[in-house]
């Protein structure tokens, strides 16, 4: 007898958890291993990648997460100098954990570390009998990170995207071109390394060069000038929803892993996915030539691939339908939360210690609850702090509290946070 659809789609993702945790099955995870991962294996620790941060440096620490008796606590990986993007990434990771706790209670106690970087952090080459365990957005054949859903899967945002499946124009009513817009990111960002050092990742200029060979087939461009993409004038940005006006949508790597594929899959177009070393949590369930049309790593086949798709509308329609079906059946919001819950249960089974509250961890207060409490009776008023900022989720430093005093109105909580 076939499993109900909701159960079947959850099983597709949760079946991946055991394979992701296999390197730790034999020896488990000790408290010392978690502390080592937190303090020593934060972002950019791989010497072979750009922006290398030597061991022992205190910056770029990982997000520390404690779940105890069903309550979520965290030790922040941001600071008052962190970018809004970093604040948002931390908040979304915590929102996903909180949503999984609510949907799949009770969940076991855990003490874990999570990276919110575009790059995995622990190289396989140094893994001894038990390598450090870090949850991250992506892994590669050279890295052992355990994949955690990236920012597109923020519970409210992903549920909204999922509800819009099928609401976009039919393929035959779209512009028959490949669309890509973005920045000319590279792993180096022009700092102390050469294009040769990161030749396998400096691909966005290659995309512009490839697209320039067939402008009638490919509308690709950067939205800001960049020295790594000299000779290419910026083009007007295209909102993600407006990507649905184009039949073919390109996905390429940039400054590490690119999470744009998640949202592109929901737009009803044909995905042209560059061969990539990065693997997000659901990638093993995607099939080349079924859910997307592959592009070579060097993107030299961009024009030929676009021409072949335009010449074969039936194949293009089949690829688009398969991509939409994949999102509908495999990446449903309840399936994503089931995957997070399965990760927590699988990880808890590997712990060889009793999780305890980290001395610098504070309770997670959902942003919407915090904002609602501070807004008072006047609803709809724009809050005086930036959305997604530290103030939206509680300050952790004196400077933050001076900048956002409403984030530190609770004296006892403020005292505890200012000790960080």
Higher pLDDT, 397 or 147: 147
Q: Give per-residue pLDDT as tens, 264-287.
A: 999 999 999 999 889 999 999 999
Higher pLDDT, 85 or 401: 85
Q: Give the Cα separation of 346 and 85 in Å (integer).
A: 29
All residues at 6 or more sequence positions from 64 whose CB lies less than 8 Å from its CB, including other chains = 38, 74, 75, 77, 111, 112, 113, 358, 360, 361
Percent of the chain with pLDDT over 70: 74
Pull the structure tokens for residue 417: 């946070």
CB–CB of 50/188 below 8 Å?
A: yes
Would you place residue 370 in the very low, low, confident or very high pLDDT band (cuts 50, 70, 90)?
A: very low
pLDDT at 61: 63
The CA angle 243-252-264, to the nearest 5 degrees, is 30
pLDDT at 131: 85
pLDDT at 197: 46
Q: Residue 387 pLDDT > 50, yes or no?
A: no
Q: Residue 405 pLDDT > 90, yes or no?
A: no
The rounded mean pLDDT for the chain is 81
Phi, psi dihedrals of residue 24, rounded to the nearest 5°: -110, 5
Q: Residue 389 pLDDT > 80, yes or no?
A: no
pLDDT at 309: 97
Q: What is the pTM of this model?
A: 0.83
pLDDT at 130: 80
- CATH number for the 168-329 domain, one of 2.70.150.10, 3.40.50.970, 3.40.50.2000, 1.10.540.10? 3.40.50.2000
Gyration radius of the chain's alpha carbons: 22
Q: Give per-residue pLDDT as tens, 120-140.
A: 878 787 656 788 899 999 998
Pull the structure tokens for residue 197: 């050092």
Percent of the chain with pLDDT over 90: 54
Lowest mean pLDDT among 66-75, 96-105, 346-355, 357-366: 357-366
**Mean per-residue pLDDT for 26-32?**
94
**Mean per-residue pLDDT for 59-68?**
83
Q: Give per-residue pLDDT as tens, 79-113.
A: 777 678 888 999 999 999 999 999 999 999 999 99
Lowest mean pLDDT among 79-83, 101-105, 163-167, 311-315: 79-83
Bridge-based pairing state of the strands 110-114 and 63-68: antiparallel
Q: Give the Cα separation of 148 and 399 in Å (integer).
A: 31
Residue 232 DSSP label: -
Q: Give the Cα separation of 87 and 73 in Å (integer).
A: 16
Higher pLDDT, 296 or 143: 296
**Mean per-residue pLDDT for 199-220?**
83
Distances (CA, A) of 349 to 68, 331, 344, 355, 368: 15, 25, 9, 12, 32
Q: Give the Cα separation of 222 and 237 in Å (integer).
A: 8
Would you place residue 13 in the very low, low, confident or very high pLDDT band (cuts 50, 70, 90)?
A: confident
Q: Quick one: which of 193, 190, 187, 198 has its CA closest to 44? A: 187
pLDDT at 42: 66
Higher pLDDT, 372 or 125: 125
List the domain boundaries for the chain.
Answer: 5-157+335-385, 168-329
pLDDT at 207: 87
Q: Residue 331 pLDDT > 70, yes or no?
A: yes
Q: Residue 227 pLDDT > 80, yes or no?
A: no
Lowest mean pLDDT among 183-187, 350-354, 363-367, 389-393: 389-393
Would you place residue 386 in the very low, low, confident or very high pLDDT band (cuts 50, 70, 90)?
A: very low
pLDDT at 206: 83
Q: Quick one: which of 218, 217, 215, 203 has its CA closest to 253? A: 203
Residue 277 DSSP label: S
Q: Residue 335 pLDDT > 50, yes or no?
A: yes
pLDDT at 117: 84
């Amino acid at each position: 007898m076939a499993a109900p659809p909701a159960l079947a789609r959850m099983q597709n993702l949760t079946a991946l958890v055991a394979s992701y945790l296999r390197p730790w099955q034999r020896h488990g995870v000790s408290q010392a291993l978690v502390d080592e991962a937190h303090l020593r294996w934060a972002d950019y620790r791989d010497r072979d990648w750009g922006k290398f941060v030597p061991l022992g440096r205190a910056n770029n620490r990982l997000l520390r997460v404690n779940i105890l008796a069903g309550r979520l606590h965290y030790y922040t990986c941001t600071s008052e100098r962190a970018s809004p993007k970093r604040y948002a990434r931390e908040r979304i990771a915590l929102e996903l954990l909180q949503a999984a706790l609510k949907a799949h209670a009770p969940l076991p106690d855990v003490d874990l570390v999570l990276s919110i970087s575009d790059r995995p952090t622990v190289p396989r080459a140094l893994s001894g009998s038990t390598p450090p365990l870090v949850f991250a957005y992506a892994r590669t054949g050279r890295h052992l990170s355990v994949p955690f859903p990236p920012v597109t899967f923020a519970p409210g945002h992903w549920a909204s995207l999922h509800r819009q499946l099928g609401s976009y124009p039919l393929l035959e009513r779209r512009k028959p071109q490949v669309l890509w817009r973005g920045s000319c990111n590279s792993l180096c960002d022009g700092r102390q390394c050469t294009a040769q050092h990161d030749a396998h990742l400096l691909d966005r200029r290659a995309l512009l060069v490839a697209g320039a060979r067939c402008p009638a087939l490919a509308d690709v461009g950067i939205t800001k000038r960049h020295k790594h993409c000299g000779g290419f004038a910026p083009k007007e940005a295209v909102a993600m929803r407006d990507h649905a006006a184009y039949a073919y949508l390109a996905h390429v790597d940039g400054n590490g892993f690119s999470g744009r594929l998640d949202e592109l899959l929901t737009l009803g177009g044909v995905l042209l996915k560059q061969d990539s070393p990065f693997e997000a949590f659901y990638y093993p369930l995607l099939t080349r030539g079924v859910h997307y049309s592959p592009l070579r790593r060097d993107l030299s086949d961009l024009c030929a691939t676009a021409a072949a798709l335009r010449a074969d509308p039936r194949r293009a329609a089949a690829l688009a339908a398969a991509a939409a079906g994949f999102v509908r059946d495999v990446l449903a919001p309840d399936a994503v939360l089931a995957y997070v819950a399965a990760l927590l249960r699988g990880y808890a089974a590997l712990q060889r210690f009793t999780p305890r509250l980290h001395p610098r961890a504070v309770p997670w207060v959902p942003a919407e609850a915090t904002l609602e409490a501070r807004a008072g009776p006047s609803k709809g008023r724009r809050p005086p702090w930036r959305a997604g900022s530290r103030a939206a989720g509680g300050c952790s430093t004196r400077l933050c509290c001076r900048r956002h005093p409403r984030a530190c109105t609770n004296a006892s909580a403020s005292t505890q946070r200012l000790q960080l």
